[in-house]
Structures are given as C-alpha cells and as structure tokens.
C-alpha cells in the first residue's frame, strides 16, 4: 500500500528574500546546466567517430539522428510535465511522499506508452526520408542505423523522468555524474564498436547506433540506482507499486505535457526550416550556418538549465499557493537567465572569429568564405541571444504555473508567423547571403519572448495564480 506522509520543510521552503531565492535557483540550475553541456558532448562525440567513416556514413547518421532527435525532443517535453506537477506536490507538502510517487510512476508509464508508436514509425525511417526527398543511398544507410537507434528511446525518456524527479527532490547534482558516466560509456562504446578495437566487431555506422543504445540504458540504470540508494530520495519509494495505474494523474500529465511537446516541436521546426532555407542558397552557407548555430546552442544551455530549475521553483510556490514566492522565483529566474545572455551576446559581438576558430581554421584560405559568413550570422546571433534566453526562461516559469496551452499557441504565432514569415519575406534577392534567415530567427525569438514575458507579467489578472493559502 502507498505510505502517505508530509515532506520535510527543507524540501519546499519558501525563500525569505530575492537573494535567498537566487541562491536556491542557482543551486538547482548549476548542475542542470552542467549536465546539459555534457549531454551536448555526447552528441558531439558521435559525430567525431562517425565522420571518420566517410561522408556517406556521416550523411546517413545525420539524417537518422535528425529524425530521432525530433521525436526525442518532443517526448522529453511530454514527460517534462512531471516537473511542475511534482514541484507543486512538494509545495503543498500534504501527503507529498505519496503524491510524488504517483506522479513519478505515471511519468514512467507515459515514457513507455508514448515511445512505442514513435519507435514503430522510426522503423520505417527509409520511407520517411524518401518521402521528404532525401538521397536514396543515404536514406537506406540511415534506415539500418535507425533500426538499432530506436531501441534507445524508451530508456532515454525514462532517464529523463528520473532526472526531473531526482532534481525536484533536491539532488540535481546527480545529473552531472550520470551525464559524465554516459559520456564515458558512449566514447568507449563508439571506440569499440565503430572500428572494432579490442577484438570487438567493426560495425561501422551500426556500431555508433549500438553505442547510443548502450549509453541510454546505462543512464537509465544509473538514475534508478540513485533513486534506490540515495538517502534523501529513497524515502519516496519511487518504484513502489509500479504496476498500479493512476489514470487521473496520467491524464493530468498528458494535459500539461502535450502542449510542451508541441511547443518544442514548433521551436525545433523553425531552426530546421532555417537550415533548409539556407540550404537553398549554397553549401558554403550551410556550413557557416551550422557553425554559428552550434555556438549559439552551447550558450543556450545555460538559460535552458535555468528554465528547468525555474519550473521547479515556481511550481513549489504554486503548490504552496504563495503568490509572493511565485513572483519572486519567476522574476529572479528571468533576470539571471537574460542577464547571462547579455554576457554571451557581448562576447560573441566582440570576438566572433575566436568562437568560429573552435570549429575550423579561420586563417586557412579555403575557409575564408565560411568564416566571413559565420561572422555575419553571429552578429545577428549576438542580438537574439537576449531574446532566446528570455523566451526559454519565460516558458519555464509559466510551466511552473502549469500554464502550457496558451504558451503553445503564442509560440506557434511567434516562431512561424513572425519568425519564418520574416525570413521568407526578406527574400533571397536581397543579397544578404543567408543573413535574412538569421534575422527571421531573431524576429521569431523576439516575438515569443515578448508574448511569454507579457503573459507572465499579467498572470494574476489571467487567473493563473491560485488563491493564497
């Protein structure tokens, strides 16, 4: 039977001041940011190994990973609904042990149930890639890659639920350790299976996919061990009664999570469409676009981690029905997230070539055109850093209020009407050589950031704040 009980005060204590809230937020966000950066290193290591197999293999892996990543990003958003729900239960404190366990259990159920149809779809990856006009040979190679990679989906999404829960329960630091272990497993797996070292079979592209599957299972297992052994976490008995359905709770997670998944798909779709538009100009522009976007993506991991932490902090205030705590947590997160992006924007603006040099030799004559274009794109990226930080943190604080449906609509409007529309309307005849696409991205991010921050600022008038306890 479920054992109910109050959560200890230190698990969900309201901060006494903005300074206290800032430190609470940073303690939670710091490990999440570090884990996000390590996760990016895992993806980068895959590219490094596969690139040595040749252009055809790299193209096939890129196509396969693109399809897989689109699905993964959406599913992580779906189960991400567990964060505000668990945080609210901690904030309420009444029967929090039982309620957290139920939300976690249904989050894990959702990870499995939602993954299955997408795994079936990815099993037909070749047909999907041919349908969108990709090269037949690359699509065939990507199909075999996806047939293996799709088995990483369920453990990866389950690991995401575990990470969310463990962070909300006050142990975000474990995310760094698990991500570091995952990076090591992935590097070793690629080294052994892609090229056949230490007597292992040289599986090539399939070896890289197998390494990713092993890495996902390792991450899930590591988090499970933590949940069972950490003194602070194990009292919640997260795996207790794992077979028992809580349909109302599952429905609540779906209600909150589906708009999050759709919002992330809108955002990811905009950047994918931007790459397609740049591809219509030329290969050199695509290379410059990829470099500039990777630089922006690294900087984005900081406000993204702050947004993840803000969802939990605002969610605790929401569960406690403490409007002061809610407001303080949200505004502190917005100031810190946007403030950091001011620093990255200045750094990119002042020394763009230094950032580009991390990816290619900026002094080589054959790279001159790519470097010139990348620097131009980064000039725009420096501006949209501010908007990117504001929009992701604003989305995070609204999720803490379990407000996801209207932000989804605002994201669709901002990204696709203002953002993509601006990129298309500026038009290629303008002679900006891809810069117009980046201006479109900046306009889209600016629109979404304004809309979401505005909605956050009028949260009380919209009835998003629960009555004060």
Listed residue (215, 59, 76) closest to 145, CA to CA = 59
Q: Which CA distances in Å does 177 have to 34, 43, 227, 234, 282? A: 10, 17, 14, 18, 41
Rounded to whole angstroms, the maximal C-alpha distance in the chain is: 70
Q: What DSSP string describes 5-23?
A: -PPPGGGSPPPSSHHHHHH
Question: φ, ψ for residue 243 (rounded to 5)?
Answer: -85, -10
Q: How far is CA 204 from the centre of its chain?
A: 28
pLDDT at 10: 42
pLDDT at 427: 63
Q: Is residue 332 part of a domain?
A: yes
* 277 lies in the same domain as 417: yes
Element (H, E) at 49: helix 18-51
For residues 142 and 60, the answer to whether their CB atoms sit within 8 Å is yes
* 325 lies in the same domain as 401: yes
> Which residue matches tokens 């200890």?
8
* 338 lies in the same domain as 424: yes
Q: Is residue 16 part of a domain?
A: no
* 54 lies in the same domain as 119: yes
Total domains in the fold of the chain: 2
* 200 lies in the same domain as 65: yes
As a whole number of angstroms, the distance between CA 128 and CA 289 comes to 25
pLDDT at 280: 72
Q: Which of 180, 212, 245 is the last residue of a domain?
A: 245
Q: Is residue 444 part of a domain?
A: yes
As a whole number of angstroms, the distance between CA 425 and CA 78 comes to 33
Helix, strand, coil percentages for the chain (3-state, nearest 5): 80, 0, 20
Element (H, E) at 447: helix 435-457
Contacts of 157 (CB under 8 A, 6+ apart): 72, 75, 76, 79, 111, 112, 114, 115
As a whole number of angstroms, the distance between CA 239 and CA 241 comes to 6
Q: Is residue 384 part of a domain?
A: yes
* 228 lies in the same domain as 374: no
As a whole number of angstroms, the distance between CA 9 and CA 17 comes to 17
* 158 lies in the same domain as 281: no
The DSSP code for 150 is: G
pLDDT at 16: 74
Q: Which of 245, 276, 309 is the last residue of a domain?
A: 245
Contacts of 434 (CB under 8 A, 6+ apart): 278, 281, 285, 288, 289, 373, 376, 377
| Count of alpha carbons within 13 angstroms of residue 141, beta-carbon side | 22
Note the helical H segments in 93-200. Answer: 96-122, 125-131, 136-149, 153-168, 174-193
As a whole number of angstroms, the distance between CA 450 and CA 461 comes to 17
Listed residue (333, 298, 331) closest to 28, CA to CA = 333
Give the number of residues written for the chain.
469
Q: Is residue 9 part of a domain?
A: no
The DSSP code for 458 is: T
User: For residue 221, what are the domain limits?
Assistant: 30-245
pLDDT at 433: 67
As a whole number of angstroms, the distance between CA 70 and CA 68 comes to 6
For residues 464 and 410, the answer to whether their CB atoms sit within 8 Å is no
| Positive or negative torsion for Cα 31, 36, 40, 42 | positive
Q: Is residue 14 part of a domain?
A: no
* 95 lies in the same domain as 220: yes
For residues 157 and 186, the answer to whether their CB atoms sit within 8 Å is no
As a whole number of angstroms, the distance between CA 450 and CA 415 comes to 12
* 265 lies in the same domain as 227: no
For residues 269 and 414, the answer to whether their CB atoms sit within 8 Å is no
* 220 lies in the same domain as 99: yes
* 227 lies in the same domain as 200: yes
**pLDDT tens for the 469 residues of the chain, in order:** 333 344 443 445 678 789 999 999 999 999 999 999 998 888 778 877 887 787 778 778 878 888 898 899 999 999 999 999 999 999 987 778 999 999 999 999 999 999 999 999 999 989 988 887 777 888 888 899 999 999 999 999 999 999 999 999 999 999 999 999 999 999 999 999 999 999 899 998 899 999 999 999 999 999 999 999 999 999 999 999 899 999 999 999 999 999 999 999 998 888 878 877 777 777 788 778 888 888 888 889 999 999 999 999 999 999 999 999 999 999 999 999 999 999 999 999 999 999 998 878 888 888 888 889 989 999 998 888 889 999 999 999 999 999 999 999 999 999 999 999 988 888 666 556 678 888 988 999 999 999 999 999 999 999 999 876 5
| Positive or negative torsion for Cα 154, 159, 160, 164 | positive
pLDDT at 404: 96
> Which residue matches tokens 């901060």?
15
Q: Which of 211, 245, 279 is the last residue of a domain?
A: 245
Report long-range pairs for 140-144 (Cβ below 8 Å, ≥24 apart). Answer: 141/56, 141/57, 141/59, 141/60, 141/205, 142/60, 142/61, 142/63, 142/64, 142/67, 143/64, 144/205, 144/206
* 264 lies in the same domain as 235: no
Burial of residue 432, with CB atoms counted within 10 A of its CB: 0-12 exposed, 13-18 middle, 19 or more buried: middle
Token duo for residue 179? 């991500």
Token duo for residue 29? 């966000």
Q: Is residue 12 part of a domain?
A: no
Q: Is residue 4 part of a domain?
A: no
């Amino acid at each position: 039977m479920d054992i109910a009980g109050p959560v200890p005060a230190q698990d969900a204590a309201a901060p006494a001041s903005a300074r206290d809230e800032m430190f609470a937020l940073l303690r939670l966000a710091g490990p999440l940011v570090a884990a996000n950066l390590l996760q990016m290193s895992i993806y980068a290591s895959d590219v490094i190994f596969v690139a040595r197999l040749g252009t055809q293999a790299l193209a096939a892996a890129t196509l396969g990973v693109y399809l897989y990543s689109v699905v993964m990003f959406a599913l992580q958003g779906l189960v991400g609904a567990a964060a505000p729900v668990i945080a609210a239960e901690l904030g309420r404190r009444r029967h929090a042990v039982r309620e957290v366990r139920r939300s976690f259990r249904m989050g894990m159920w959702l990870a499995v149930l939602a993954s299955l149809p997408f795994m079936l779809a990815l099993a037909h990856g070749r047909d999907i890639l041919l349908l969108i006009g990709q090269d037949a040979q690359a699509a065939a190679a990507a199909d075999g890659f996806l047939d293996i990679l799709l088995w990483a989906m369920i453990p990866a999404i389950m690991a995401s639920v575990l990470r969310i829960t463990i962070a909300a329960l006050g142990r975000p630091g474990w995310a760094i350790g698990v991500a570091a272990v995952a990076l090591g497993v992935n590097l070793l797996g690629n080294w052994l299976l892609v090229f056949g070292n230490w007597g292992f079979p040289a599986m090539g592209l399939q070896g890289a996919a197998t390494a990713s599957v092993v890495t996902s299972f390792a991450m899930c297992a590591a988090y499970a061990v933590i949940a069972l052994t950490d003194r602070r976490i194990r009292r919640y008995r997260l795996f207790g009664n794992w077979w028992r359905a809580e349909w109302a709770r599952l429905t609540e997670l779906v209600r909150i999570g589906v708009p999050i998944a759709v919002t992330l798909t809108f955002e990811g779709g905009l950047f994918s469409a931007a790459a397609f538009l740049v591809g219509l100009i030329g290969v050199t522009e695509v290379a410059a676009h990829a470099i500039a976007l990777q630089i922006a993506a690294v900087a984005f991991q900081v406000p993204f981690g702050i947004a993840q932490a803000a969802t939990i902090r605002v969610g605790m205030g929401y569960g406690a029905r403490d409007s002061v705590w809610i407001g303080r947590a949200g505004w502190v997160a917005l100031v810190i997230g946007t403030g950091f992006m001011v620093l990255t924007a200045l750094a990119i603006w002042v020394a763009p070539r230094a950032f580009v040099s991390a990816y290619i030799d900026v002094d080589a004559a054959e790279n001159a055109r790519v470097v010139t274009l990348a620097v131009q794109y980064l000039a725009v990226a420096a501006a949209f850093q501010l908007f990117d930080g504001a929009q992701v943190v604003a989305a995070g604080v609204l999720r803490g209020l379990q407000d996801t449906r209207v932000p989804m609509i605002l994201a669709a409007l901002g990204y696709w009407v203002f953002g993509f529309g601006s990129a298309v309307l500026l038009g290629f005849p303008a002679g900006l050589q891809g810069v117009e696409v980046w201006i479109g991205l900046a306009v889209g991010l600016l629109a979404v950031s304004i809309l979401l921050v505005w909605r956050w600022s009028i949260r009380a008038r919209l009835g998003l704040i629960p009555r004060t306890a």
